[in-house]
């Protein structure tokens, strides 16, 4: 057998986006191509360090020759594609997707980018009627697949449920859950490999759950908080942040962020220490840090109480 | 992977129910199980992409449900640890399917069809009688409870119920016709309710059998007997395919211009060729028998009455596309069809028509049956793969297409039962001859499921291009004393057409130019007394309940659509009717444009078409 050295060279592919040519390495997504040429596409379930699941459908764009719109976050660029990101079809879809989301989920803590889009499209939360009151504990979770109670249409159904507070590290407020699957991915093979949570149930009643909805201390959860780090809507939140928000004291304008290295072990994870009123209120890791890609363990993320105390 | 389980113990009965399916997996990652028989001795454990045996999850959940009656935390934990599947994920899978209970349930559950086919036939809500007589659904008394069910595929009978009975003498029984009075004798194990009824209404076999091609054996062949099948010409197509070889067979399919009958009308030869030519191995072939489109019962009748034809068709598909393994994914509500397919596989294997060295021509092929558990979405091909793999039946994003990365991420061919049945006909008469029937671009014959307010509901076969009015006439026309108000073509995912459209030619192109679809061959006739608001509400409820919940437009859109139709039916519109209709069309648009799969993309079709026709 002869020894050969394989040299991998990524070919380039060219597409036309809003009339402009975009040349990207083969395998790039439409979203990456758009960002390369400075074209903005709103996203919600997308995150650079996770496998795209394209469930939110906020990033849909028009692809010439395709019957439906296509998700920019996961569709790979092919040579000669002609893409429109600001057509009437795209705008109508975006607006309605945001309205479907806003009418069913509490979006009060989302990115400024998404808020800007909701303003731009004049998203009306109550377009489908007054919002239904929160369901009781366990009601949504225990709805059997294919057996929901038929609505009389007087209220727009929402995913609102009581907040789950069952441990000292973080809370789960599934009223804010858009079912982006990011937490499941972070808990699973994309980062932590703990598999404490999964999507359960079906349809509008689909929700993130441990097995049989057991409390986190009874589950496989190791409190790394990587699910919290990737949550785009505040459905998962450090308990420190939650408590400050509940008492109206959470104020990002009064916070400073200091970058440092985790003191616990020798891996060298970078930390961002969020401090408000001289107290640590949250710890995160930069998503572009090559050691962590934004992920941490329980000590790095939650082991700061001794400093505050 | 170290799994954390709750430590809740499984009972001995639960352990036995699980072990009966997964056997003794002493080390789950050793791969040594490949080739060992399981599941009634038919089929073999296949390597999953994960290295574990996650693909046994669904069969094992079925076993617990059947023998215990519900899936407890202890049982789920034991199963998870045996298969190396995290309990949270196993729970996610179990809670996805309507036929599994995750809390203690009654030993007997009666699922009563209240879907549009039975409504159109009875002119009323079929479940009304039951609730009047026996009280609310879900309430357990005397060991049984009842619940509403989506279409059970017995639309030609106009009423149906699925009986799910757990315990030592567990059984799943599909009965039709069904009336609420039958529940009076439910405690008597000898009563009619405990045996699946035969339902094979194919009226043409009485007066026009010679014109039938796909259905020609039905009612004449003994569905249990391989000899009977062979004496009716069975397995001559496989012999022909073995003579021609894969390339020759593919050439015949190409000549025939066969298009898939599952709903998407994709050219079969193109699909087969893409699988055959893919250098990645192994290849798989899947027969999609998850027939769940409301109003559809054609595949069930074929599987129940002529099961060997499905096995033969799938064997030819496997031969042509280079597969050694095939799957039939059958919906969980079709117990009789499943039983007959199992019997056919066992007999065909015994006689050398399946297994290794088929007909001594050096070709190996085996077939495993997988049973769904109550999820319409599992009929979407990529959701079906996920279901077989032991995952939630959520559709995947395409591309990649199944021929590139399908079941277990390997090149996979997938066809509906009726499509495979056509393959037999093509090999029998030749591709060019086959293409002479039908129209230029819709070749061959088509199976039509006639139901609702017609005189002779049942399964009909006719060449493509037959006029809508003529197929309704074949079924004896509208019931006496009634007049046609509208016809639903293609099922809940199809669309309504009016009585002034009876001259639509039923071909792919003919219905398309009328803005409709043939879908799964549903022709459901509604009379002038129909309460369309209730029919549309039932369709909206169906899509909301069957949406997998993965993408926003479908998950929330189907809920909003149902709410909106409920308001219209209750005469309590929000703002104004005009605004409601605009909203309905905008919701429909976003579901069609931006949903991941065909369920969301078609969830508003029938409803919007009804408004356009002025039915409501």
Q: Is residue B439 part of a domain?
A: no
The CATH number that applies at residue B122 is: 3.40.30.10
Whether B26 has a pLDDT exceeding 70, the answer reads: no
Q: Is residue B40 part of a domain?
A: yes
Residue B332 has φ and ψ, to the nearest 5°, of -65, -15
Q: Residue B1: what pLDDT?
A: 58
Query: Rounded to an integer, what distance in angstroms lies between the CA atom of residue A238 and that of residue B151?
Result: 46
Write the pLDDT tens digit of every residue in A185-205: 999 999 999 999 999 999 999
Same domain, B320 and B265: yes
Query: Rounded to an integer, what distance in angstroms lies between the CA atom of residue B182 and that of residue B188?
Result: 11
Q: For residue B400, what is the nearest residue in chain A, using CA coordinates? A: A75
Question: Under an 8 A CB cutoff, do A178 and B147 touch?
Answer: no
The residue assigned the tokens 């049973």 is B371
Residue spans of beta strands (DSSP E) within B433-499 = 445-452, 458-463, 484-489, 495-498
Q: Is residue B579 part of a domain?
A: yes
Write the pLDDT tens digit of every residue in B567-597: 999 999 998 999 999 999 999 999 999 999 9
Whether B127 has a pLDDT exceeding 50, the answer reads: yes
Question: Burial level of B105, CB count in 10 A (0-12/13-18/19+)?
Answer: buried
Same domain, B420 and B522: no
Query: Rounded to an integer, what distance in angstroms lies between the CA atom of residue B461 and that of residue A57?
Result: 41
Of the candidate ranges B57-66, B188-197, B552-561, the one whose mean pLDDT is the lowest: B188-197
Query: Rounded to an integer, what distance in angstroms lies between the CA atom of residue B576 and that of residue A300?
Result: 55
The CATH number that applies at residue B80 is: 1.10.10
Domain count, chain B: 5
Whether B32 has a pLDDT exceeding 80, the answer reads: no
| Architecture per CATH, A170-308 | Single Sheet (2.20)
| Six-digit token string for A156 | 């727009």
Q: Which of A101, A145, A219 sits opposite B95 (nearest CB)?
A: A145
Write the pLDDT tens digit of every residue in A208-244: 999 999 999 999 999 999 999 999 999 999 999 999 9
Same domain, B499 and B473: yes
Whether B449 has a pLDDT exceeding 50, the answer reads: yes
Question: Residue A130: pLDDT band by 50, 70, 90 thresholds?
Answer: very high
Query: Rounded to an integer, what distance in angstroms lies between the CA atom of residue B497 and that of residue B610?
Result: 8
Q: Residue B467: what pLDDT?
A: 98
Average confidence (pLDDT) over A251-271: 96
Question: Under an 8 A CB cutoff, do B91 and A210 touch?
Answer: yes
Task: For residue A189, give how far its alpha carbon lies from the nearest alpha carbon of chain B (Å).
Answer: 11
Same domain, B356 and B385: yes
Chain B residues with CB under 8 Å of A160 CB are none
Task: For residue B497, give how far its alpha carbon lies from the nearest alpha carbon of chain A (Å).
Answer: 23
Question: Under an 8 A CB cutoff, do A201 and B549 touch?
Answer: yes
Residues 78-97 of A with CB under 8 A from B: 89, 92-93, 96-97
Q: Residue B7: what pLDDT?
A: 79
Residue A259 contacts B where some CB pair is shorter than 8 Å: no
Q: Residue B186: what pLDDT?
A: 81
| The last residue of a domain, from among B194, B228, B247 | B194
Residue B6 contacts A where some CB pair is shorter than 8 Å: yes
Whether B236 has a pLDDT exceeding 90, the answer reads: yes
| Six-digit token string for A24 | 């990207």
Average pLDDT along chain B: 93
Same domain, B539 and B523: no
Question: Under an 8 A CB cutoff, do B88 and A148 touch?
Answer: no
| The last residue of a domain, from among B527, B548, B574 | B527
Q: For residue B593, what is the nearest residue in chain A, using CA coordinates? A: A68
Task: For residue B507, give how far its alpha carbon lies from the nearest alpha carbon of chain A (Å).
Answer: 21
Residue A210 contacts B where some CB pair is shorter than 8 Å: yes
Q: Is residue B459 part of a domain?
A: yes
Residues 110-129 of B with CB under 8 A from A: none
Query: Rounded to an integer, what distance in angstroms lies between the CA atom of residue B578 and that of residue B19?
Result: 59
Query: What SS3 string covers B112-134?
Result: EECCHHHHHHHCCCHHHHHHHHH
Task: Locate the domains of chain A by residue range.
Answer: 10-128, 170-308
Average confidence (pLDDT) over A132-149: 90
Residue A13 has φ and ψ, to the nearest 5°, of -125, 150
Same domain, B323 and B216: yes
Picking from B7, B78, B88 by the largest number of A CB atoms within 10 A of its own CB, the best residue to mutate is B88
The ipTM is: 0.96
Task: For residue A198, give how far its alpha carbon lies from the nearest alpha carbon of chain B (Å).
Answer: 5
More confident of the two residues B196 and B308? B308
The CATH number that applies at residue B595 is: 1.20.1440.230
Average confidence (pLDDT) over B558-566: 97
Write the pLDDT tens digit of every residue in B349-401: 999 999 999 999 999 999 999 999 999 999 999 999 999 999 999 999 999 99
Q: Is residue B340 part of a domain?
A: yes
Q: Residue B330: what pLDDT?
A: 98
Write the pLDDT tens digit of every residue in B160-174: 999 999 999 999 999
Q: Is residue B253 part of a domain?
A: yes
Whether B33 has a pLDDT exceeding 70, the answer reads: no
Same domain, B186 and B325: no
Write the pLDDT tens digit of every residue in A152-168: 999 999 999 999 999 99
What is the residue range of B128's domain? 108-194
| CATH, domain range A10-128 | 3.10.20.740
Query: Rounded to an integer, what distance in angstroms lies between the CA atom of residue B279 and that of residue B281?
Result: 6
Of the candidate ranges A47-51, B45-49, B97-101, the one whose mean pLDDT is the lowest: B45-49
Residue B140 contacts A where some CB pair is shorter than 8 Å: no
Q: Residue B5: what pLDDT?
A: 80
Write the pLDDT tens digit of every residue in A58-90: 999 999 999 999 999 999 999 999 999 999 999
What are the Cα distances from residue B454, in Å, to B334, B473, B524?
24, 9, 8
**Residue A200: beta bridge partners?**
A207
Share of chain B above pLDDT 70, in %: 95
Whether B44 has a pLDDT exceeding 70, the answer reads: no
Same domain, B502 and B357: no
Residue A234 has φ and ψ, to the nearest 5°, of 80, 15
Side-chain half-sphere CA neighbours of B497 within 13 A: 27
Average confidence (pLDDT) over B484-489: 98
Chain B residues with CB under 8 Å of A185 CB are none
DSSP one-letter code for B457: -
């Amino acid at each position: 057998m002869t020894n050969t050295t394989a040299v991998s060279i990524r070919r380039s592919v060219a597409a036309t986006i809003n009339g402009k040519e975009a040349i990207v390495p083969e395998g790039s997504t439409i979203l990456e191509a758009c960002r390369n040429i400075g074209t903005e596409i709103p996203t919600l379930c997308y995150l650079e360090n996770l496998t795209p699941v394209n469930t939110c459908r906020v990033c849909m764009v028009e692809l010439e020759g395709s019957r439906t719109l296509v998700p920019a976050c996961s569709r790979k660029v092919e040579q000669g594609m002609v893409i429109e990101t600001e057509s009437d079809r795209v705008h109508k879809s975006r607006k309605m997707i945001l309205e479907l989301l806003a009418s069913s989920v509490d979006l009060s803590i989302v990115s400024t980018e998404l808020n800007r889009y909701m303003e731009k499209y004049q998203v009306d939360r109550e377009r489908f009627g007054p919002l239904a009151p929160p369901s009781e504990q366990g009601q949504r979770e225990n709805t059997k697949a294919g057996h929901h109670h038929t609505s009389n249409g007087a209220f727009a159904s929402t995913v609102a449920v009581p907040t789950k507070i069952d441990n000292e590290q973080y809370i789960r407020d599934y009223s804010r859950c858009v079912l982006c699957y990011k937490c499941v991915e972070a808990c699973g093979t994309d980062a932590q490999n703990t598999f404490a949570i999964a999507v359960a149930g079906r349809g509008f009643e689909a929700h993130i759950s441990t097995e049989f909805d057991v409390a986190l201390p009874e589950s496989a959860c190791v409190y790394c908080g990587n699910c919290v780090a990737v949550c785009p809507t505040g459905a998962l939140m450090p308990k420190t942040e939650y408590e400050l928000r509940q008492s109206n004291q959470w104020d990002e304008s009064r916070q400073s962020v200091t970058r440092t290295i985790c003191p616990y072990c020798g891996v060298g994870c970078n930390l961002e220490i969020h401090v408000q009123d001289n107290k640590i209120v949250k710890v995160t890791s930069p998503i572009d840090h090559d050691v962590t890609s934004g992920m941490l363990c329980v000590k790095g993320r939650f082991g700061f109480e001794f400093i505050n105390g | 992977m170290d799994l954390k389980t709750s430590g809740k113990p499984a009972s001995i009965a639960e352990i036995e129910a699980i072990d009966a399916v997964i056997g003794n997996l002493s080390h789950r990652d050793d791969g040594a199980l490949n080739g060992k028989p399981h599941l009634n001795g038919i089929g073999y454990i296949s390597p999953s992409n994960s290295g574990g045996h996650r693909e046994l999850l669904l069969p094992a959940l079925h076993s617990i449900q059947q023998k215990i009656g519900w899936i407890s935390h202890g049982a789920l934990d034991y199963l998870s640890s045996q298969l190396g599947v995290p309990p949270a994920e196993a729970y996610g899978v179990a809670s996805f399917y309507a036929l599994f209970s995750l809390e203690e349930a009654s030993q007997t559950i009666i699922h009563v069809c209240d879907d549009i086919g039975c409504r159109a036939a009875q002119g009323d809500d079929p479940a009304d009688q039951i609730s009047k007589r026996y009280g609310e659904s879900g309430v357990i008394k005397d060991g049984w409870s009842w619940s509403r069910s989506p279409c059970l595929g017995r639309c030609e009978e106009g009423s149906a119920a699925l009986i799910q009975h757990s315990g030592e003498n567990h059984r799943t029984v599909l009965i039709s016709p069904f009336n609420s009075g039958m529940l009076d004798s439910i405690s008597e194990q000898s009563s009619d309710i405990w045996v699946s009824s035969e339902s094979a209404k194919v009226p043409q076999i009485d007066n026009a059998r010679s014109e039938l091609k796909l259905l020609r054996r039905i009612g004449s062949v003994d569905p249990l007997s391989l000899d009977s099948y062979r004496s009716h010409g069975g397995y001559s197509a496989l012999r022909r395919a073995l003579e021609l070889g894969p390339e020759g067979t593919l050439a015949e399919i190409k000549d025939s211009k066969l298009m898939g009958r599952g709903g998407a009308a994709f050219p079969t030869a193109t699909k087969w060729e893409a699988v055959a030519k893919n250098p990645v191995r192994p290849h798989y072939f899947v027969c999609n028998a998850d027939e769940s489109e409301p109003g559809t019962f054609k595949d069930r009748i074929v599987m129940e009455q002529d099961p060997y034809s499905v096995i033969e068709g799938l064997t030819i598909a496997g031969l042509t596309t280079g597969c050694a393994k095939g799957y039939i994914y059958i919906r969980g509500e079709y117990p009789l069809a499943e039983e007959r397919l199992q019997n056919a596989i066992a007999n065909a294997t015994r006689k050398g028509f399946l297994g290794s060295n088929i007909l001594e021509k050096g070709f190996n092929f085996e077939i495993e049956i997988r049973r769904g558990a109550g999820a319409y979405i599992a009929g979407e091909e990529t959701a079906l793969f996920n279901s077989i793999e032991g995952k939630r039946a959520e559709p995947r994003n395409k591309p990649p297409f199944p021929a590139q990365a399908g079941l277990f991420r390997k090149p996979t061919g997938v066809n509906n039962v009726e499509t495979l049945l056509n393959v037999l006909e093509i090999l029998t008469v030749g591709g060019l001859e086959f293409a002479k029937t039908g129209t230029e671009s819709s070749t061959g014959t088509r199976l039509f499921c006639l139901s609702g307010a017609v005189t002779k509901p049942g399964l009909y076969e006719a060449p493509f291009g037959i006029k809508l009015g003529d197929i309704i006439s074949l079924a004896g026309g509208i019931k006496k004393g009634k007049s046609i108000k509208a016809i639903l073509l293609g099922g809940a995912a199809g669309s309504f057409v009016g009585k002034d459209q009876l001259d639509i030619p039923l071909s792919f192109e003919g219905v398309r130019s009328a803005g409709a679809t043939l879908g799964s061959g549903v022709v459901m006739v509604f009379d002038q007394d129909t309460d369309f608001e209730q029919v549309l509400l039932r369709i909206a409820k169906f899509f909301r309940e069957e949406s997998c919940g993965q993408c926003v437009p479908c998950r929330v859109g189907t809920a909003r659509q149902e709410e909106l139709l409920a308001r219209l039916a209750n005469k309590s519109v929000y703002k104004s009717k005009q605004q409601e209709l605009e909203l309905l069309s905008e919701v429909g648009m976003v579901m069609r444009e931006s949903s991941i799969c065909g369920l969301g993309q078609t969830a508003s079709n029938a409803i919007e078409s009804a408004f356009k026709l002025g039915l409501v």
